[in-house]
Every structure is written in structure tokens, then in C-alpha cells.
Chains A and B, each alone.
Chain A
């Protein structure tokens, strides 16, 4: 059962990484337009080269 003393911190740490990723996603406003982002990847506008200048939203 000693293995638990490693596994529990490890799993907590991994879960915490997920939480940090979630925070980052919220701050990056990735939940503002769920539907639109789903459609955006289907369009061909910027297939050849990326959009010229990305201004702050």
C-alpha cells in the first residue's frame, strides 16, 4: 500500500494540470463562441497562409 503515497500526489498533480489548462482556456476566451469555432475550422480562407494581422479581440 506504500505505492499510494506516490500515486495519490501524482494523480492530484495531473488533475491540477488539467485545472490549470481549464483556467487558461477561460482566460483565453475559448468558451465565448463554441458553435462558431466549430464551423471556423471548416472554412478554407486561411488554408494557404494565416490571417495577416491578428488584432486583440
Chain B
């Protein structure tokens, strides 16, 4: 007779990770009329004004409205307005923004469910107050016709209210009965129906006790729990899952001299595909023409771009940086490495959906005992009173009402709402209802390096030590290229106040660097071999001033994400093991690990190896928190006990993780771990509180002393205590 839990696994997790081309195309078409942006840094009236003013001043925008509670803005605009323009504009005035999938259909549907619950809650609250007013008169001694009149009025208010407000419980109880299991909603519905019919019967007979007040307030408190639960789930889910997709489901196919745009699904092995600079590789393949550099950081975690030329093997998901490439397809669609990674994620996700939350575990044990208690009190009193059915049913109803999990239903949602609200203000979005509980159990934390502990963007080192006259030349050359190192170098020099030198004949040699003519001599910025320099051990670019002098070396280091140090130190202070697991080269990983004081690190890890490390630790009984952003982390993120990814992470990584970090700062990760432990403690305290209340109240009900007054008092005080306990989250 135990209640069973249906696992909430999606039918096809891989579909979530790699959205189909059709879904993406549909998404794009909808995005034309309304754009939703997440704005983690809006705080007050000034922010609202400046954001709305900027957006409404943009040509093509019809209206913009900021929602401060959800920290997002919805923009009504013509199809000509692109999300990128708006994001760039907002970044310009200091508000980092991320695109959200407007998902208009699902969003309005969610809203409707929320409003529906709120309306039922309102009706139940209204009726409860009115019936309570009448009940106070009965409790304080109204007799005879007055009492009957009051009972009748209560019945007239309570019955329609229960029929309307109780629907969510009846519906879900019916659904679970049809699947032949007993959820928490079965005893709830039973209590509501039994209490109201008994009370109606008593009212008709002119009896002493009617439980209309208890039934309605039971309904009210339960709805309050339901609503809180719904709100914390819906807010998080709609924002985090819909952070828009990066994948481009299309490719440029070369048919002879002609280029046609085709869906990736239509590509066959052996087709030729053109990949423009800045675009993502749509397929696995071999370069047959062109020279460029490719950024593999999302797939492997390597920070340094790799040179690509004829015969270089490329995989789907990598970014082509400098020159156009022609690629012969060796694997498309389901065969690509990208897709194989998604399969890994699917396997890992099914393992995790088996987690049972504290509330479910509690309900499983609690729900059968409610039925057993009520039934045995009915049979017991039938036997004791010698067949007085009216008395026995009355007492059984009282037992059901008292044991109904009012405080229990509030215990978890109230804590989760208050904890996730707290974390949201710190910039963390909880996507999954049980994530907080799982986070509290964590004892090992694994960080990815590139893009997680670091910003994933290089920063030039020691520019002050370079000869002053070389800097303007370097700047002019760097500004001519979109290579990440060049972009970083140009930005750093601009902030130093360097003005670019006047160069002529600027030309980018894809895959090698940039060259130009300065005061009659040829100057070059680029790879060591091309410039004629000795290769340095660190990430670097080289400048040849052409006058026979030795080329200059510009070293780069990846910038630490703000708050990374605090996060690592905070987690270690809480007694957790911290590990660094990266796909990057050993030297870079070792340097960062040393800097942050992480002793346990591994470099050069492949995606499958990362997942294997997580699985190994889990098998050894550790609860692993994975923090990562890349496609190479996705399987590990999905396989870990709980996972966090920054908002800048790839789509698939964000979908696979339970918590999304909205700001740039990594510091809140340590806070999240701390708050989750407090939250779990509060949940357990709340369970203890409501069980203690049952321990006192149930015997009273069993011996038949539970009057409606006692039931109402016990129910309200226990619900109130549980809510207040949840709210003292610090």
C-alpha cells in the first residue's frame, strides 16, 4: 500500500540537450514579435527607468517592460530588431543581459496555472474567514436555532468553496487512484469530502459539531503550500531552461560552385561544407581547403586556439576563428561527436532522476498510516459504542482532519521558497525543486577550469615591460583581426591609452596572423614560426618589427573569474573536498591550481573521462557537486549529484545543470552550499514540528475529544509555526 513515486525523467533527455532544427526554427519565428532578456543586475527604480528608456529609444521597439521580481525585461518589437543589438545596447549602459526563449505558449500557460491556484487560494481564504467568524459564535456558546442557522450559513459558504478550491486535490487524488497508488492527495481529498458530508449531515440533524471551518482551513493551508511550491518551480524553470540556444542547425553546402543553406539533417557523409569565420562547425569533418584557427574550448577546455589547415580533423561544435574553411563531412547528425556527447548526458540523467526528495520519503511513510489510523478509529468506535455509526464516522473524520498533512504540506515549499528567494537575490537560479536538498549533501566539489574558474578570455601580461614604441604598432595590427588573442591585446592597449600607429597594406593571413607595412618595413603579429620567434611555454603572440630586431613576445593568461577564490576558500572552509578537472594542458591547469591552492587536479581530461571521474567518486559514496560550463562538462554535469553552470555556459550545459549562476561572480557557489545546509535543517525541523503536533493531537482525536475548535486551533498553530520557522532563514 505504499505510495510510489513516478520519476520525472523526460522521455528523451538527448532531445533537450541538442534541440532539433525544427524546434529552433520555430523558436526563431516566435522571437520576432517579443524578446525576453534576463537582466541579473537590475535593482531599483533607476535601473528600471534607464533600461526601459534605452530600449524604447531603440528604433523598431514598441514597448519594453522590466519585471524586477523576475529580473527580466520583455520587449515588444518589430521583426527587424535583433536580440544581439538590444543585448549590446544594454551591455553598453552596464546591464549584462542574456537572451531568454520567450516560449510564449508555455509561459502564458504557466501563468494561467499560477493565477488559477492563486484564485482558488483567494476563494478558500475568503470563505475561511467568514466561516471562522460564524464558528467563533458557535464555540463561545451559541445554542439551538442560532447555532443551526450559523451551521447552515457555513454550509452554504463551505460546500461551493470546497467544490471549487479543492479541485487540484480531487483531480490529483483521482489520477493517483487510477494508477492504483496512494499519494498524499488521497487522504486530503478523503478528509475534505468526509468532513463536509459529515458536517452537512450533522447540520440537517441539528447536531452540535460541524467541521466546515476545519475543512475549509485545511483546504486553504494546503493550497498555500501548493502555490508556494508552484511559484518556486515555475519561476526558476521558465528562466533557466529557456536561456536561448546557440546551436546553428544549418550549414552552407557547396554544390559545385553554388552555396546553398541546408538543414544539418540533410547533410550526407562526403558533402562539402563551407564554414565562415566566427561560425560553429555544423558537422565532424576534415578540412580540405583554407587556413584558419579553431577554438575548441567548449569541447575540450583548451584555451589556446588550434591551427587548422588542409587535413585537420574538426568536430561539430568547434568555432572557426579567422579564415573561411571548406570541410568534407565525415559524420553528420547522430554520428557527430556532439551527438555522442548528448547520449552520454542522457544516460547520466536517467541515473539522477531516481533521487527521492525528503518530502516524498516522508509522504511514502506517512500517507498509509493516515488511512490506517482513521479506519481503525472508525472500527474501534463502532465496536465500543455498539454500532453507533454516526459517532464512529464523526470520530474517524476528526482523526482524518487532524492527521491531514497541513503543516507537512507547507514544510518543504515554505523553506524552498525562502531559500531560493535568498539565493536568487545573490544571483543563483535554482532550476530543480530537489536541487537544494541534494546540494546540502555534497562533500566533493569538482570545478572545470576554462570558462568556469576563469573567464575563458585571455588577458595580456606585463604590457608595461614592452618597449613603448612597439605598442602602437601592435595595437594597429591587433585591431585588424578577430582572433581572441588579438581582440584581448587591442582592448588592453586601448585601455592603456595607446593610439594605433598608421599602417598600410594591412592583411590577415588566416591561421598565421596579421601583417602590414609601417614606415616602409613589413611588420607581423602572429604565430611564432610565422614571425620567426622562439615559441614560449605560455600562451603568447609574437610581434616582428621587421628591422632585424628579435621579435617581441606578448604573453597571455586567462583571467580568474571574480569570486573564484572566495568560492574555493568558502567551500573548503565548509569541509568539502575541492578538485580541478580540466581538458586544458597540464602547465596551465597546474598554475591555476597552485594559485587557488587546489592540490587535487587533473589536466587533459576528455569529456568521457570527466564523467567517469564523477561516476567513480559517486560509486565510492561521495556526493559530487560539478561546476562547469562547456560541452565537455555536460556529461559530468548531468552525472553529478548536483551541478551548477554559469549563465555564459553553453546551452546544453545549462540544461544539464540544476543551478544557473546569473552573474559573473562565482562567489555565490559557496553561499549556495551553506544556505542549502540550513534549508535542509529547517525542512527537518519542520517535519519534526508537525510530527510532534500529530503526536499530541492524534490521541485526543482517537478518544473522541477533538472538537472543531481544537482541530482549528491545532491546524492553524502548526501551519503558522512551520511557516515562521521557514522564514527565519539567514
- Residue ranges of A at the interface with B (Cβ–Cβ < 8 Å): 1, 4, 8, 11-12, 15-16, 18-19, 22-23, 26-27, 31-36, 39-40, 42-43, 45, 55, 57
Contact = CB atoms under 8 A, between A and B. Distances in A.
Given A35-B68, A36-B68, A43 B49 contact: yes
A11 B115 CA distance: 26
B153 interface: yes
Given A22-B122, A23-B122, A55-B63, A34 B45 contact: no
Contacts of A27: 115
Interface string B30-47: 000000000000001110
B119 interface: yes
Interface residues of B, number: 31
A interface: dominant SS? helix
B76 interface: yes
Most buried by B among A15, A16, A34, A39: A39
B123 A42 contact: no
Given A1-B146, A19-B126, A26-B122, A35 B69 contact: yes
Contact of B48 (A11, A16, A26, A36): A36
Contacts of A19: 122-123, 126
Interface of B: 44-46, 48-49, 53, 62-63, 65-70, 74, 76, 111, 115, 118-119, 122-123, 126, 129-130, 133-134, 146, 149, 153, 157
Q: Which 3 A-B pairs have the closest CB atoms?
A: A36-B68, A43-B45, A39-B45
Contacts of A16: 126
B140 to A, nearest CB: 14
Nearest to B157: A12
B49 A15 contact: no
Contacts of B74: 57
6 contacts: A22-B126, A26-B119, A33-B67, A33-B70, A36-B69, A43-B49
Nearest to B146: A1
A39 B76 contact: no
B122 A36 contact: no
A43 B43 CA distance: 13
Contacts of B118: 26, 31
Contacts of A31: 118
Contact of A39 (B44, B126, B129, B153): B44
Contacts of A33: 67-70
A21 to B, nearest CB: 10
Given A26-B119, A39-B45, A45-B49, 6 more contacts: A8-B134, A12-B130, A15-B130, A19-B123, A43-B48, A45-B53
A38 to B, nearest CB: 8
Contacts, number: 62
A20 to B, nearest CB: 10
Contact of A23 (B65, B67, B119, B157): B119
A45 to B, nearest CB: 5
Contacts of B44: 39, 42
B65 A57 contact: yes
B46 A43 contact: yes
Most buried by A among B74, B115, B134: B115
Contact of B115 (A26, A36, A42, A45): A26
A57 B153 CA distance: 41
Contacts of B149: 4
Nearest to A54: B63
A51 to B, nearest CB: 9
Given A8-B153, A32-B67, A33-B70, A42 B122 contact: no
Contacts of B133: 11
Contact of B62 (A1, A8, A43, A55): A55
A31 B128 CA distance: 22
Nearest to B145: A1
A33 B130 CA distance: 29
A26 B66 CA distance: 19
A18 B69 contact: no
A30 B305 CA distance: 51
Contacts of B67: 32-33, 36
Contacts of A12: 130, 153, 157
Most buried by B among A18, A27, A36: A36
A15 B63 contact: no
A11 B133 CA distance: 10
Nearest to B126: A19
Nearest to B72: A33
B119 A39 contact: no
Contacts of A18: 126
Contacts of A15: 126, 129-130
Nearest to A31: B118
Contacts of B66: 36
Most buried by B among A33, A34, A45: A33
A26 B116 CA distance: 9
A39 B122 contact: no
Nearest to B134: A8
A46 B256 CA distance: 61
Contacts of A34: 69
A39 B52 CA distance: 14
A37 to B, nearest CB: 8
A22 B125 CA distance: 11
A22 B46 CA distance: 30
Given A19-B126, A22-B122, A31-B118, A39 B68 contact: yes
B70 to A, nearest CB: 7
A30 to B, nearest CB: 11
B213 to A, nearest CB: 15
A4 B142 CA distance: 13
